[in-house]
Structure 1
Amino acid sequence: MALLNIEDIRIEFPSRRGTLVAVDGVSLSLEKGEILGVVGESGAGKSTIGNAVIGLLEAPGRLAGGAVLLNGERIDTLSAAQKRKVRGRRIGMIFQDPLTSLDPLQTVESQLVETMQVHLNLSHDEAKKRAIQLLVQVGIDKPELRVKQYPHQFSGGMRQRVVIALALCCEPEVIIADEPTTALDVSIQAQILELLKKLCREEQVGMIIITHDMGVIADVTDRVAVLYHGKLVEQGPTSKILGDPDHPYTRSLISAVPRPDIKLKRFPLVTYIEDVKTPAQPLDLATHWLGQRRDFGSRTDGPLVQVRDLSMRFVLKSALLKRNQRTLDAVKRVNFSIGEGEVFGLVGESGSGKSTVARLISGLYTPSEGSVNFGGVDLTALKGEKQLNPFRRQIQMIFQDPFSSLNPRMRVLDIVAEPIRFHKLAASEAEARRIVADLLDVVGLGDRAAERFPHEFSGGQRQRICIARALATRPRFLICDEPTSALDVSIQAQILNLLKDLQEELGLTMLFISHDLPVIRQMCDRVGVMRYGELLEVAETEELFERPQHPYSQHLLGLMPRLQSMSREGLDVVAG
């Protein structure tokens, strides 16, 4: 008898417009100690199945057919109170977004202790002791101190570790992990995945891991199930699915995964998907609005961006006496340069200072020490809006989470037009609207998108809106801070191809920050490796990936999934 059986389930979401069938006739099984991967695009039904298993389908969603059995006992027909006893105790859940899983008003200790006391026969002191042990288990330093802190005091990667500790705290029989490592860098991801594998091996816990990361699938899973539009199109051993898939959708999906071992001219697209974006025609910069950047002057002799001894110190606890202050050195005397037209990458663990460097260059933070020189001008010496605004126009930023970057109450037209209006780049409102329509065409959305709101778009489409807004000032320098980390591989391929095309056609200079090393290899000319706020190594991309010099760089690259079983057939490889 299997540990978990999902038998021919059908999940429906009734609405005034009819009934949406989110999952249609899917059957899966999970054995003790086994890790089953579930892959597919956004909307395929992966997370919906996970929510149905633990009884968390959002109304009006309903399980319209089939059954879910845990150790032969049917659990989908249990009462709400009975399902609450199963959740956490027998089935643990790791969600993608740790902020939605944690109570911002309670300390980590309170949340762990409460969960354990509800489900386990532990005293308060026993639960507190186990809470600290769990933080050690998931790799959180100084657990006695960190357990007393609130979720907002942790980085994204650290919050996800806390969520994993919560899922493990009651020693469940089954764990459902929904994109558990999306926001984690490669070293932390390796630690978390090794922890989950060890748990499954030693405790015979069964795990369903829902992810779009084929590296995770290759490294962790025993079997893989592939979903498309709510239907199961293929399942089998991981080596078979990745190495020799039968279904054309699976083959297309795997082809779009960024390669860690070779550099490609373009990312292959998932051609099986009906709405895949075809490459746009090259821009004629002699006539196109985006090519009219003459007011920025000629190309700079030497680097466009020069970072000298850049440091950033955050005060964690203020005090009247300076010696009693608690501070964090997030960036420590960092030096690097970016040539005009170059794509420079920054990699490193969560908390290494990558995003802090980006915010210092863009002017969102003021450095504690050092300088940022842009086009021959020391930006850190400028004062007031009048001096800063011309440079803010030239430097634009694309953030990791497109939804939080967009005002939900504004239409796309006004979101994209806002910087055009602010910097007075259009002679009239009619011209501003024409420019917005043109930009939406450039990023592959079409001018009809202008009248819609952000919530009406998918994650990949929202990131295209952010790119259109970043281009609206005709920038010279684009900072991309994890622009595709939360996207499916097919959408990621589209967005990265778009950024490649725009960089080549417009001659954009880019700072590209990512914890996804295969993406860095495909996108960047040179790469800097950061750890604990220090820049350890800077090298040409291929030189770094083939012959890293610093021990930490070697360690980081050694953790990268190789995906050697995946076919290279049809890939357009860069020579050399």
Structure 2
Amino acid sequence: MTEILCRTKDLKITFPHRLGDFTAVHGFDMEVRRGEIVGLIGESGAGKSTIGNAIMGLLSHPGKVSGGRIDLEGENLIDLSDAAMARLRGRRIGMIFQDPMTSLNPLMTVGDQLAESIALLRDLPMSEARKMAADRLDGVGIPDAASRMGQYPHEFSGGMRQRVVIALAMAGDPDLLIADEPTTALDVSVQKQVLDLIRSICVERSLGVILVTHDMGVIAETADRVYVMRHGKLVETGPTAQVIHTPTEQYTQDLIAAIPSIERREDRFRNPAQKTGEIDQWLLQGHKDESSGDYVTASALTKDFATRKKSFWGKAGTFRAVDIPGLSIKRGEVLGLVGESGSGKSTLGRMMTGLVLPTSGNVRYDDHGPLADVRSRARRKALRRDVQVVFQDPYSSLNGRMRVDHILAEPIRFHGLAARSDIPRLVGALLERVGLPAAAGRKFPHQFSGGQRQRICIARALSVRPRFLLCDEPTSALDVSIQADMLALLMELRRSLGLTMLFVSHDLAVVRQVSDRVAVMKQGKIVECREAEALYDSPENDYTRMLLATAPRATGH
């Protein structure tokens, strides 16, 4: 049997607090062997990232290991001094962090950052380190690595930045690699490339890898064994295929059951239980019986962005981010919009709602006419009521200095939708409509989980009685069970209130569950737009087929 590289035994991690110690990890046992990838999975707050940070000696203050052992080839890391741990980081243990943009110094070129790390970890002169840095960038799949050494992180795509972070983590040839949510914000094709790269490095260099994630599809495609965590405790462990196909614990079964399928539509999303209340009567006020025609139509739509000048005297060029001849969304329809990062889908969505002005072309709403003609204050105000957005990051979408009840009351007051005395009651009813208690209005955004904050964002969008919602990656950062709840909520609201939606996402399984039609974007153009079931079952475009083929599936290797 392959030797055990890293082992945690009865690991306990606590965070002291004035009201009493909080135990984040309770007696956790794990083994990692050379040449294998061990998956560590669980919902937010399960303690999985805390374990990775503890192994690296990077627990945030005042967190501490209060019991148990962390052994690296028989040496207890807990007994080491800070200086000894600093010597291990990079040389024996490497880490890939979740957000590559915050892991890289924006003021240094990629080549300088990598060369500096190699020179420090290997005690080499910078000239040799730079040569090795170029080889390492080439080894992780950066095209034309030598010339891209002089570029800055913002000049790389998300997938390329993650490859740079992997090269940095491997700069000292560590024995153990910890990958903390390395694919969360990546589209399916780039995600597959990054996971394939991690697996190939693991096999070629006989590394031990701990893959921390909340995505069961990523675990199924990549990990050899899996540890399932909940509330800081180990729930279930075993070979990946065994845990996924024949889970023994109810929590694991529920976690797997919550994963949306890319193979078929599921009734729990398409036909959720109808939940109407008194607030729905208020939300539907002013909504007339409407035709079944197109609600919003885009015609000959383009968007150009200026590019950097190649020299001081040169002229700035333009980059065409969106170029579509036409696109329409019917009343009451959910149109899914998918594509890789940089395909233009978010830009198109924002042009459709008037948040971004097109370079040419037109967007027309049935109730308001062309957006370019909506100039008067009254018409703009009416349009803003009817068209609302649910953004990807709920935390940055909410004012952290305002209580939730004030956040929801503000748009009601601004649009004059209710008497001042009725607003507190309506705010409480809106919160209950999206699955939160009315008392939640007295709290601030930071006092909620990510899923709860997204519910607050949905309540805020509903507060002006809209007819159209742009949902821009609304579930990408959520755990699978919370994601399932969020999708069911959106679909139930769509049915109850007759909402029209544009649902932008890179998660193909999610899009299949919620969409009536799906449009696929590549390099600013729509390459295929059809009924959802027909597109998924028999895609006509090669690019669509590639996206579907590379999407992770929770079915094992």
Same fold (TM over 0.5): yes
Letter in 1 for 2:505: S
Corresponding residue number in structure 2 for 1:217: 219
Equivalent in the alignment of 1:182 = 184
Aligned partner of 2:508 in structure 1 is: 517
In 2, the alpha carbon distance for the partners of 1:546 and 1:448 equals 45
Kindly indicate whether the alpha-carbon contact (under 8 Å) linking 2:279 and 2:433 is maintained by their aligned counterparts in 1: no
Matched, 1:456 2:456: no
Question: Match for 1:72 among 74, 81, 88?
Answer: 74
Other structure's SS at 1:409 match: coil
Aligned equivalent of 1:503: 494
1:289 pairs, out of 282, 289, 297, with 282
State the match for 1:247 in structure 2: 249
Name the amino acid aligned to 1:421: R
- Distance of 1:121 and 1:384 partners within structure 2: 66
Is residue 196 of structure 2 the alignment partner of residue 205 of structure 1?
Answer: no
Separation in structure 1 between the aligned mates of residue 472 and residue 124 of structure 2, nearest angstrom: 43
1:531 partnered with 2:522 = yes
Cα distance between partner residues in 2 of 1:351 and 1:139: 19
Which residues in structure 2 correspond to 1:55-454 (within 5 Å)?
Answer: 55-141=57-143, 143=145, 146-267=148-269, 282-284=275-277, 288-294=281-287, 298-300=289-291, 302-317=293-308, 324-375=315-366, 377-383=369-375, 385-428=377-420, 430-454=421-445
Question: Is 2:218–2:554's contact at 8 Å kept on the other side of the alignment?
Answer: no
Partners of 2:26 and 2:77 in 1: CA distance: 19
Residue pair 1:398, 1:480 contacting (<8 A) in 2 also: yes
Q: Which moved more, 1:373-382 or 1:120-129?
A: 120-129
1:389 Cα deviation after fit: 2.4
The number of residue pairs the alignment matches comes to: 553
Relative to structure 1, is the Cα distance of residues 150 and 260 closer, same or farther in structure 2, using a 3 angstrom cutoff?
same
2:5 match: 3
What value does the CA root-mean-square deviation take over the aligned residues? 2.3
Q: Distance in 2 between matches of 1:186 and 1:287?
A: 37
One-letter amino acid of the structure 1 residue matched with residue 37 of structure 2:
I
CA 1:230–1:284: 2 relative to 1, 3 Å: closer
Structure 1 residue 477 and structure 2 residue 468: aligned?
Answer: yes
Aligned partners of 2:280 and 2:497 also within 8 Å: no
Q: By how many angstroms is 1:298 displaced?
A: 4.6
Give the CA deviation at 1:237: 0.4
Match of 2:35 in 1: 33
Native 8 Å contact 1:396 1:477 kept in 2: yes
What secondary structure sits across from 1:18 in the alignment?
A: coil
Q: For residues 140 and 311 of structure 2, what CA distance do their matches in structure 1 show? A: 36
How far residue 545 of structure 1 moved from its aligned partner, in angstroms, is: 0.8
* Corresponding residue SS for 2:392: coil
**Aligned residue type for 1:390:** A
When residues 331 and 224 of structure 1 are mapped into structure 2, their CA distance, relative to the original with a 3 A threshold, is same
Q: Percent identical across equivalent pairs? A: 51
Q: Which stretch shows the higher mean deviation, 419-428 or 361-370?
A: 419-428
Compared with structure 1, are the counterparts of its residues 419 and 88 closer, same or farther at alpha carbon in structure 2 (3 Å cutoff)? farther
Contact 1:36–1:209 (8 Å) recurs in 2: yes
Give the whole-Å Cα distance in 2 for the aligned partners of 1:443 and 1:288. 15
Displacement of 1:372 after TM fit? 1.0
In structure 2, relative to structure 1, the CA distance for the partners of 1:120 and 1:244 (3 Å cut) is same
C-alpha contact 1:318 1:326 (8 A) present in aligned 2: yes
Among 487, 503, 518, the residue aligned to 2:478: 487
1:230-258 alpha-carbon deviations (Å, 9 max, x no partner)? 11121100011001011111111111111
Change (3 A) 1:175 1:320: closer
- State whether residues 244 and 555 of structure 2, in contact with CA within 8 Å, keep that contact through their aligned partners in structure 1: no
User: 2:401 & 2:142 partners in 1: Cα distance?
Assistant: 38
The question of whether the paired residues in 2 share the 8 Å contact of 1:176 and 1:208 is answered with yes
CA drift of 1:88 comes to 2.1
Instruction: Give unpaired runs (5+ residues) of structure 2.
Output: none
**How many Å separate the matches in 2 of 1:156 and 1:449?**
36
Q: Deviations over 1:113-132 (max 9, x none)?
A: 22222212333233334444
Contact kept, 8 Å, 1:526 with 1:538, in 2: the verdict is: yes
1:280–1:444 CA contact under 8 A, matched in 2: no
Contact 1:331 1:356 (C-alpha < 8 Å) held by counterparts: yes
Q: 1:45-94 CA distances to partner (integer Å, 9 max, x unpaired)?
A: 10110000000111111000111111222222222122122222221111
User: Partner of 1:36: helix, strand, or coil?
Assistant: strand
Paired AA for residue 285 in structure 2: Q
CA 1:469–1:144 in structure 2 vs 1: closer, same or farther (change >3 Å)?
Answer: farther
Equivalent residue, structure 2, for 1:46: 48
Deviations 1:139-177 (A, max 9, x none): 445655654344444454444333333223332211111
Counterpart Cα distance in 2 of 1:361 and 1:473:
19
Q: How far did 1:435 drift?
A: 1.8
Displacement of 1:261? 1.1
- The answer to whether the 8 Å contact 1:91/1:174 transfers is yes
Given the two structures, how large is their TM-score scaled by the length of structure 2?
0.94
